[in-house]
Amino acid sequence: MPFNLFLLFFSVINLTSCLNVAFMAKAVSKEKSDMAKKESNESTEWKAQVERAERKARIARMKGSQGKKKKIGSHRIWKKVLLITTVCLLVILLAGWLVIRSGIIVRKVSALTVNGRKFSASDLNLSIGNIAVNAQLGLVFTEEFQETLMSPSPYAPDQTLRDLLIEAAVSQLEYFAATSADMVKVGFKPTDEQNKEIEAALDAYEKQMLQISEQSGRSVTSILEMYYGPGTRLKAVQSNMDENMRVSYYMNSIREAADVSDEKITAYYDEHRDDYDLFSYYLYDFKPEDSNLEGDALTEALDELEAKANTAAESLRLKPFIEAVSDQLPEEEAKKLLESEDTLLQRKKKAAMLTTLFDFVKDSERKKGDHKVIRGAKQVTLVEFVSREKDDFRPYSVRHILLSKEGHDGSQELTQADYDTLKIEAMDVWQEYLDGEQTADAFSQLAKEKSKDQGSASNGGLYADITSDKSAQFVKPFREWCEDPARKPGDTGLVKSQFGYHVMYFQGHGDEAELTSKIRETLRDEHVNAWSTAIMNDVKSEQHPFGMKFVGRIHFFKALFSKEDKPAPEETVFKID
């Protein structure tokens, strides 16, 4: 009980303390509130006094010396109008300069429309830049080349080089637009691998431009503008590359769709065999001793030569061609001719023959031994037909090890002693091969170690995929060994030539005859040409004069106010392949 009384007493004391604190806090709060109101009233009164003082000062300034209100001067209004106008004009000029400098106008203004697709002046400039680079003309969009663009065109003296480039660019874009539209029409899509190639090409181009920029100290944009004109940006060039690669893939698909079956190839050969067959014949040109003869003197000399050629032709019934010809020559010339008998026999196609000669040998009734005398403007030719055959040449690959005298390049004849020494060396190398693994790799290693042929030694003595044209460039003994009809992969042997001795290794033939490959490619070309003609027949193209002003030019105002270009008087000649 006493403990409960103690708790009650303690609670009363606490309650009394809390009430005292609350009353004190309220009193303090009221005192602060009264002080804040007093300060607020004083601040408001002070502000009002300041405003009244400022208003009186403004009124005083507006009054004249008589105490009356001043009139507002009109010149002050015009000053403000002039200032505002000047500022606006400067802003407009600055904005205009920025627009011109950025090339927005060149990028946006239409210069050409092809089947509804619009190409800007910048698009044509991009095409011109590519044409100029491919033709190795230089950087078209530089100050130096702008003057060159005024040079006469090599094809039309009344046109400038700029006109020529524009014509080429327009034709290129017309074909590009037609091809691109056809690609979209048929729904062609590049393969995943082709898309990767496109991405890699775009990435490589960007890196290349950044590298050039770093090396030259120029920005990428300024470099591109030298190549492709004002306003050119990297993304625009990459976009153009992207579409061009897609179009290229599409055209390849068109090419691969051509009918190149064996039946088609055979039919094409039968129709064009005159263009592909090989004609063998003996030929000799009787020429005047003085090659500078003209007029009557030349006519008289040709008459004498024609008589000799006819005499030789008549004796062909009884003598070989070389003897019939040599009988009509001075002793020294006849001797030289007999030593170079092989030069008289020729084996050529239509493309390598004169028209008069081809007309003689191509005759379907032509038979071996037929001959003809052909009189030309400077010589008289005697020809004797040997044969006509289908060209069954197959590309081949061959390795060789050349054993030659140190420092010898074939321009001087080797002595018999030289040949004897080189033959021994060649036999030793050949035997070393035969004693080894007898593989292409083993031969290749020997060639790297022993061959004197600088053109092939580092590649193991290999000449790969030799066409008929390349084979004809080999020395005769080398060529004849390779073209032997009995030749098969792995064959080896020794060949003597003007260079020394060759240890030979035949790698093998190609998969098919060269003629078959040529006809197949021709059929594909004709298929693409027919397709191109079809899509180009529907092309409708329109050039826009205002936009064309900015094509091939770098100065905006010169282009804007330019008139028709006239060729400069200098006779600078350029050609575009």
| Sign of the torsion angle spanned by Cα atoms 277, 278, 281, 285 | positive
C-alpha neighbours within 13 Å on the C-beta side of residue 397:
15
CA–CA gap between residue 56 and residue 156 (Å, rounded): 86
| Sign of the torsion angle spanned by Cα atoms 163, 164, 169, 171 | positive
Question: What's at 112, amino acid-wise?
Answer: L
Question: In this structure, how many other beta carbons lie within 10 angstroms of the beta carbon of residue 561?
Answer: 8
Q: List the structure tokens of 137.
A: 């003309």
What is the residue-level pLDDT of the chain in tens, covering all 577 positions?
A: 343 333 333 343 343 443 343 334 444 344 445 554 555 555 566 666 766 766 666 666 555 555 555 555 555 677 777 777 777 766 665 555 555 555 677 888 899 999 999 999 999 999 999 998 888 888 888 888 888 888 887 777 788 888 899 999 999 999 999 999 999 999 999 999 999 999 999 999 999 999 999 999 999 999 999 999 888 999 999 999 999 999 999 999 999 999 999 999 999 999 999 999 999 999 999 999 998 999 999 999 999 999 999 999 999 999 999 999 999 999 899 998 888 777 899 999 999 999 999 999 999 999 999 999 999 999 999 999 999 999 999 999 999 999 999 888 777 889 999 999 999 999 999 999 999 999 999 999 999 999 999 999 999 999 999 999 999 899 999 999 999 999 999 999 999 999 999 999 999 999 999 999 999 999 999 999 999 999 999 899 999 998 898 898 887 667 666 665 555 544 444 444 4
Q: List the structure tokens of 180.
A: 């691109």
CA 488 centroid distance within chain: 40
CA–CA gap between residue 31 and residue 103 (Å, rounded): 73
CA–CA gap between residue 180 and residue 536 (Å, rounded): 12
pLDDT reported for residue 46: 62
Question: What's at 182, amino acid-wise?
Answer: D
Which pTM does this prediction carry? Answer: 0.71
CA–CA gap between residue 317 and residue 80 (Å, rounded): 114
Give which of 475, 425, 472 is closest to 450, Cα–Cα. Answer: 425
* 3-state SS assignment for residue 399: strand
C-alpha neighbours within 13 Å on the C-beta side of residue 203:
6
Q: Which residues contact 277 (CB under 8 A, 6 or more apart)?
A: 349, 350, 388, 389, 390, 391
Contact, 425 vs 403, CB < 8 A? yes
Q: Which residues contact 420 (CB under 8 A, 6 or more apart)?
A: none
For the chain, the farthest-separated pair of C-alpha atoms sits apart, in whole angstroms, at: 170
CA–CA gap between residue 128 and residue 553 (Å, rounded): 11
pLDDT reported for residue 8: 34
Q: List the structure tokens of 558.
A: 């010169």
pLDDT reported for residue 160: 87
Give which of 389, 399, 398, 391 is closest to 517, Cα–Cα. Answer: 391
DSSP notation for 306-335: HHHHHHHHHGGGTS-HHHHHHTTS-HHHHH
Query: Across the chain, how many H-helices and E-strands are there?
Result: 21, 11
